[in-house]
Amino acid sequence: MANYLAQFQTIKSTCNHLIIAVEDVSDLWPTVKNSFEERLPFKRSCLNNKTRNPVFVENLPAEYILTTDARLRSRFPQEQYLFWFREPYATLVLVTCEDLDEFKTILKPRLKLIVQNDEREWFIVFVSRAHPNNDQATKMAKKVYAKLEVDFSSKKRERCCKFDIYAPEANFWEDLEARIMESVRNTLDRRIQFYEDEIRKLSEQRFMPIWNFCNFFILKESLAFMFEMAHLHEDALREYDELELCYLETVNMGGKRREFGGLDHGDDQAALLIPGNKSLTQIVQDDSFREFEFRQYLFACQSKLLFKLNRPFEVASRGYSFVISFSKVLALHESILPFCMREVWVITACLALVNATNSQYKEGTATPEIEREFYRLQGDLYSLCRVKFLRLAYLIGYGTEIERSPVNSASLSMLPWPKPAVWPLVPDEAASEVLLKEKMILQENPRVKHFGIQRKPLPLEPTALIREANRRRASLSAGNTSEMFDGKLGFADGSGSDASSKTSPSSKAQAISMSRTYSTPGNFEGSIDRPMRLAEIFVAAEHALKQTISNPDLLKTLSSIQDIEQKYMDLTKGAADNYHRSWWKRHGVVLDGEIAAVCFKRGNFDLAAKSYEKVCALYAGEGWQDLLAEVLPNLAECQKILNDQAGYLTSIVRLLSLDKGLFSVKERQAFQSEVVSLAHSEMKHPVPLDVSSLITFSGNPGPPLELCDGDPGTLSVTVWSGFPDEITLDSLTLTLMATYNADEGGKLRSSSATVLKPGRNTITFPLPPQKPGSYVLGVLTGHIGHLTFRSHSFSKAGPADSDDFMSYEKTTRPVLKVSKPRPLVDLSAAISSALLINEAQWIGIIAQPINYSLKGAVMHIDTGPGLKIEESHSIEMETYINAAQISTDMANSGDARKDDNENFEQLSLLDGKIEFPDWASNVTSILWIPIRAIDDKLARGSSSGAPQKQSIVDGMRTVALKLEFGISNNQIYDQTIALHFTNPFHVSTRVADQCNDGTLLLQVTLHSQVKATLTVNDAWLDLQDGFVHAGQDDGRPVSGFFPLVISPTSRAGLLFRVCLGNGTALDENKAQPESILNISYRIAGDRTIGAHPPVAAKSNEIEGTSQDLIFRSALILQRPVLDPCLAVGFLPLPSDGLRVGQLVTMKWRVERLKDIEESRVPQTNDDVLYEVNANSKNWMIAGRKRGHVSLSTKQGSRIFISILCMPLNAGYVHPPHLGLPDIDEANISCSPAGPHLVCVLPPALSSSFCIPA
Amino acid sequence: MTTTACFIIVSRNDIPIYEAEVGSAAKREDAAQLPQFILQAALDIVQDLAWTTSAMFLKAIDKFNDLVVSVYVTADRTRFMLLLDSRSDDGIKSFFQEVHELYIKSLLNPLYLPGSRITS
């Protein structure tokens, strides 16, 4: 049956659509052919798939073939069965007839014959050639068709349809398509059934020795092919999948050792997408196929179907796993395959897959998940290809050019070397090339890492190539044992393992002999004793590869370092782009790093820096410091070359802030010196540098520093330096941030250069006064040379965990609290009651610190007007103990009051300032200041008749105090203290009695004004003019009464006898207008309470005596008012009363009571000026209001003054008043004595007066 | 033939918070970052896979030549990643469960900030 394979292939290639046979009974086909064929392919059809489920197929291609055609005639029945899929799927019988008889006699039997003897699916198309205008013919045709239908159609199935050539019915074509489809469907079902049965039969025999995979394959593929013809791609795909499974099962069946294949020229190029790469007959082997080619063929068929199904994604995903698994298979057979065949195959396979799927893939058609997956697969394919390509490049000696990055190292160092049976040998003629390579190896200088980082380069090779290659060669000569050993080793290496241990040495040897990779055994024998040098290995590998690789493009890419680099770049870029598109950012970014490396090598530093930045950002963002340490130096180098100083510095700072274990001390020192040298060099654009990760700071542990408003202070801050060495900061500034508002607080400056040790440093900043609030540390800025740096980060305890993402969420502890303004000190007067005026008095000022030290405080004293400090006396200061405190002290400790608690000091006033002693800084103290209030006025006594209150304001004096205190005397407390000064006495007088002899008893009452005991020692009265002391004494009270003690706020009285004297004092020079009371007294009082004995001069104090004080008070004695001169009497009004609007005459009588003495009254003639005053609202006055009347100066003379008035308002009103302006009121006696009222009645009702409303 | 394994706990923010080299073999000096590199790249796969299953243990998600990456995702998206050159799912799974318990214990420590480095 396998013989049919070739035939099967040709059939497959010629026939790729359904065939519909046309049985042209009445020779009609040529006429209708065109109209039939132009309706192909079938637009829509419904077919059953393998599981008998309807599937809708669109655009199904088909071909009409006449049964008389040679293609349908010349087949043997057996052939027909085997390749049944190419047989017609429907038979269309084309008839016409215009006569019923003819139909019955000729056509019907013939049709019966056609229909009967075949199991074909058939149906009849009756073609009516009747012209529509020809009724007769039309009718006839209809009749015949009706007959035809009766005869051939059944109820179950319509098998006829009618086609009018001239006027085809509208639904004819639909009918026809439906008929054809019905037939096709039925045929298809039947054939599927048939194939399935056959396949089942065959697969039952699968484990029998006679079983032939080729037969099974032909059947299976026929079925698949039939599905494909019917556009049932899904089913076809399933068949291929099953076929693959079945094949893998049989190929893995033990026992038979088959040829693997892959030894032909061109096999190194993967053909996994080209089904027709090799004809199947070429790869058939015994009863099966060679694995190498056949699996690729199957995959190609599958991918072709998948592309038809528009599923390029699946091609990629299946392709990737196929490449992986096939690569493993290749590894199994590596010893018989050409050198590095596996690598080359994978490269070509990946590229083919990538290209094919990419060209088929339309973006946006699939769901986002699928799309991402697709790009990921593309990336995977690219990177797989890339790794293999790197391996090849290494093998031919370009290993030194490969960047030893983690990604390359990871992929290459664990990838086993190719394991050819024997390592290729250096061809004879290649000596010059060996030399060249050797030279290259020698010239090549190891890549120096930047900053002199000493790091063992990452490996690119699983084991040393030189050893591997030589061992491979030696193993052959050493014999089986080492080969066995080698096999075991290879097996243990893992998945990409070598031939299994089952491989017998003999078969291996045979395989080796088949290998084309070494030239002659003789040569091999000759070089066995000398191990190959590395250059030789490279050259040998290159030659072997040249033989392996058939693709000129690939060969070219490996021919020179530039080509390799270019290809490498393409692959890396492809992988990176696709990974990025698939959101596998880590894969993508890592490959970006590789691109950067190449860019760097090519001198394209700009691109390199950009890519490196991406990589660094990823690693830094995720905190993979080991990996970051690998890439960051490269970025830094790029930036250095690009003269990107900001970036360069940032990179170095990042390098420095990496884990300390990642770089040696020396390397870190190199970083630092780089920073410092750059900082001190000329920088064109000074850049701010963020060193948050390197220099961190925190407040000192413990409670925050508390300051009062306006106070400066010093703040000590812990600064952690991550620099490996000491570093000198030229300046350092730290900002404070208020916690509850966004304002930036003050700045702390440390002006002098600061040297930061590695690790912990404590730096003390002077703190200027801050606004109230609590503050946290803000930003640390400073200068290193020309470089400005900033650090935002603050750490709680130290630099550890600085990469911790949570650190920003930590609430920072305030380092400084500045309290709101509050009274820090209180100054108040210690005295509550009045002091003596005009005497030196102590005023006490209590200075009470309120939780604040008064150390170094200075008090400015500014006395107000009328007050001066007695400079002759020193100022006393002592601890203040108030009364309540004393009492509790007494209660607590009895009389054992501690004297050491009290302080006393005498201070002196300098320029109006007093400096507080130290002991007064925290205790309440009292300051006694000698002071004198000056009042030039004499005290005035008052008479008892009108007791006038002495104004308090007169005795008020103020002292303005200004206390400067605080740490730098920055706090100022202003207080103005009011002091009350007073005379010791207030004097009031009264005439106690007037004796008949003209003697007056003058009582003088002394009111004590102070809270002190006053002792009056003497008192005398200097009388004013007009008064003399009665009797001949000097006006002193009887001395026996003295001393007179007056308690605080009590009163005492003195009695003086005076009488009116006439001109006794005229001889004196000065007329004394007032009497003066002189009182000599002493005062006994406590200065803490109020008035007290005046401050004595020092000399007097020593004597212990105090002088009597003299108090003088002026008294005014008035001569008594004896007699009025004139009397004014208001005469009674008419008895019927006053009425509004009625005129009335007011009358006054003026009478002279006594003679006018010329000296008293300044009146020269006898005229008396009078004036009538009346409220004009109430009274209308007719006549003269003011005038002179003549009044005789004789006693008893009288006149009447009358005025006509009219009351205007009703009610009780004051009547008009007669006044005598020229005469002192004291000399007028009025009757009635005071103002009085009169009653005015309302007007009579009949009155025609208009009364104002 | 040596057994090497690298175990890393990666926080939800992709930051490694615990690293340990376990295994009998002496660490290859020159390949220090390889496990890190492989595990880091595997995070890409984890991000895809973690949402496809409700199980915490994702089994072997990636193979790098002969090294296998196994991952266990906790409820807060912390990932335990183990790079191992031999696979026995059951053993790895029980290892992960044990680690998970320990991890929860350390989370419950009031002094431990979630997401910061685990130091012991």
Query: For residue range B6-15, what is the model confidence (pLDDT) as tens digits?
Result: 888 888 777 7
Structure tokens at A38: 């132009």
Interatomic CA distance for residues A43 and A174, integer angstroms: 10
- Dihedral of the alpha carbons of A219, A223, A228, A233, in degrees to the nearest 10: -120
Specify the 3-state DSSP secondary structure of A171.
Answer: coil
Q: Let me know: does A283 contact A260? Beta carbons within 8 Å.
A: no
On whether any CB of chain B is under 8 Å from the CB of A811, the answer is no
Rounded to 5°, angle at Cα A412 from A406 and A416 = 150
In this prediction, residue A832 carries a pLDDT of 73
Q: pTM score, two decimals? A: 0.63
Q: What's the Cα-to-Cα distance from A30 to each of A25, A96, A99, A1013, rounded to whole Å?
A: 12, 14, 22, 159
Token pair of A108 as six digits:
């019907």
Helix H or strand E encompassing A307: helix A291-308
Between CA A1237 and CA A1137 the distance in angstroms is: 13
- Chain A residue closest to B17 (CA)? A623
Q: CB-based contact (8 Å) between B117 and chain A? A: yes
Q: How far apart are CA A597 and CA A213, in angstroms?
A: 52
Residue A1064, both tokens: 């006794």
The DSSP bridge partners found for residue B73 are: B79
Q: Which residues from chain B sit within 8 angstroms of residue A490, using beta carbons?
A: none
A341 within 8 A of A548, measured Cβ to Cβ: yes
**Regions of chain A where pLDDT drops below 50:** 1, 478-528, 795-810, 889, 893-900, 946-947, 1063-1068, 1097-1105, 1158-1163
Closest listed residue to residue A1146, CA positions, set A1111, A1165, A1173 = A1173
Nearest Cα neighbor of A536 from A459, A432, A419 is A432
Q: Are A289 and A244 in contact (CB under 8 A)?
A: no
Structure tokens at A666: 């020396």
Contact across the interface for A414 and B44, Cβ inside 8 Å: no
- Provide φ and ψ at A915, rounded to 5°: -100, 135
Phi, psi (deg, nearest 5) at residue A1240: -115, 125
Task: Give the closest of B33, B47, B64 to A627, CB-based.
Answer: B33
Q: According to the CATH classification, is domain B5-22+33-108 in 3.30.420.10? A: no
Task: Give the minimum alpha-carbon distance from A457 to chain B in angstroms, rounded to a whole number.
Answer: 7
The pLDDT value given to residue A960: 86
CA dist A18 to A88, A185, A195, A227, A698, Å? 7, 11, 17, 10, 85
- In A, residues 1220-1239, which contact B (CB 8 Å cutoff)? none
Closest Cα of chain B to A893: distance in Å? 53
Q: Which of B4, B14, B21, B34 to mutate to test the interface with A (most CBs of A within 10 A)?
A: B34
Could A494 and B66 be called an inter-chain contact, meaning their C-beta atoms sit closer than 8 Å? Answer: yes
> Which residues in chain B are closer than 8 Å to A372, comparing Cβ atoms?
48
Measured distance CA(A753)–CA(A733) in Å, rounded: 11
Contacts with A410 from chain B: Cβ below 8 Å: 34, 37-38, 64
- Which residues from chain A sit within 8 angstroms of residue B14, using beta carbons? 621-623
pLDDT value of position A66: 83
> Do the Cβ atoms of B44 and A586 come within 8 Å?
yes
d(C-alpha A973, C-alpha A193), whole Å: 114
Nearest CA to A689 among A658, A634, A740, A644? A644
Using DSSP, state whether A596 is helix, strand or coil. helix
* A441, A443, A444, A445: CA torsion to nearest 10: 130
The pLDDT tens digits of the residues spanning A861-897 come to 888 788 888 777 778 888 877 655 555 545 554 444 4
**What would the DSSP string read from start to end of A929-966?**
EEEEE---SPEE-EESSS-PPPPGGGGEEEEEEEEEES
Copy the structure tokens of residue A134: 């020809």
Longest Cα separation, chain A: 199
**Is B43 within 8 Å of chain A by CB?**
yes
A110-114 long-range contacts (CB < 8 A, ≥24 apart) are A110/A25, A111/A25, A111/A152, A114/A23, A114/A25
Q: In this structure, are residues A321 and A499 in contact, taking their beta carbons and an 8 Å threshold?
A: no
For residue A931, give Cα distances in angstroms to A836, A844, A867. Answer: 10, 10, 7
Closest CA to A277 of A298, A308, A250: A298
- Chain B CB contacts of A492 below 8 Å: 1
Whether B41 sits inside 8 A of A587 (CB atoms) is: yes
Beta bridge partners of A63: A19
Chain B CB contacts of A406 under 8 Å are 33-34, 36-37
Beta bridge partners of A754: A729
- What is the predicted pLDDT for the residue at B32? 57
Distance CA A178, CA A46 (A): 9
Listed by number, the residues of chain A in 129-188 with a beta carbon closer than 8 Å to a beta carbon of chain B are: none
Picking from A301, A279, A274, the residue whose alpha carbon sits closest to that of residue A290 is A279
Residue A364's SS3 state is coil
Angle in degrees, CA A342, A345, A348, rounded to 5: 150
Q: Is the peptide bond before A1252 cis (omega within 30 degrees of 0)?
A: no
The answer to whether A622 contacts B66, with C-beta atoms less than 8 Å apart, is no
Report whether A727 contacts A735 (CB < 8 A).
no
A627 interface with B at CB cutoff 8 Å: yes
Q: Pick from A787, A799, A794, A832: which is nearest to A810 by CA?
A: A794
**Cross-chain Cβ contact A458/B30 below 8 Å:** yes
CA angle A899, A903, A905 (to 5 degrees): 140
The number of residues making up chain A comes to 1253
Q: Out of B36, B37, B66, whose CB is closest to A493?
A: B66
| C-alpha span between A1138 and A1054 (Å, rounded) | 57
A-contacting residues in B 49-68 (Cβ below 8 Å): 63-67
One-letter amino acid of A153: S
Locate B54 and state its tokens. Answer: 């409700």
Contact between A622 and B13 using a beta-carbon 8 Å cutoff? yes
Which residues from B are below 8 Å from A583, CB to CB?
44, 47
The owner of tokens 């390592």 is A423
The helix (run of H) or strand (run of E) holding residue A1113 is strand A1109-1115
Cβ contact, residue pair A586, B115, below 8 Å: no
What single-letter amino acid sits at A930?
P
Q: Is residue A1150 within 8 Å of residue A1130, measured between CB atoms?
A: no
At residue B3, the 3 state secondary structure works out as coil
What's the rounded Cα separation, in Å, for the pair A153 and A150? 6
Q: CB contact, 8 Å: A493 with chain B?
A: yes
Report which of A843, A732, A724, A820 is spatially closest to residue A777, judged by C-alpha positions: A732
Most B CBs within 10 A among A370, A578, A626, hence the mutation to make, goes to: A626
Q: Is A494 touching B (CB cutoff 8 A)?
A: yes
Q: Which of B15, B34, B85 sits opposite A406 (nearest CB)?
A: B34
Residue A680 and residue A785 in contact, taking contact as beta carbons nearer than 8 Å: yes
Under a CB-based contact definition with an 8 Å cutoff, are residues A1011 and A1085 in contact?
yes
Residue A415 sits at the chain B interface (C-beta within 8 Å): yes
Q: Is B21 part of the contact surface with chain A (CB cutoff 8 Å)?
A: no
How many Cα atoms sit within 13 Å of A98 on the Cβ side?
10
- Averaged pLDDT, B83-111: 82
Q: Which of B15, B18, B68 to mutate to test the interface with A (most CBs of A within 10 A)?
A: B15
Note the residue count of chain B: 120
- Distance separating alpha carbons of residues A500 and A491, to the nearest angstrom: 7
| CA nearest to B119 within chain A | A801
Distances (CA, A) of A853 to A237, A914, A924: 97, 16, 11
Give the torsion sign (CA, B92, B97, B98, B99).
Answer: positive
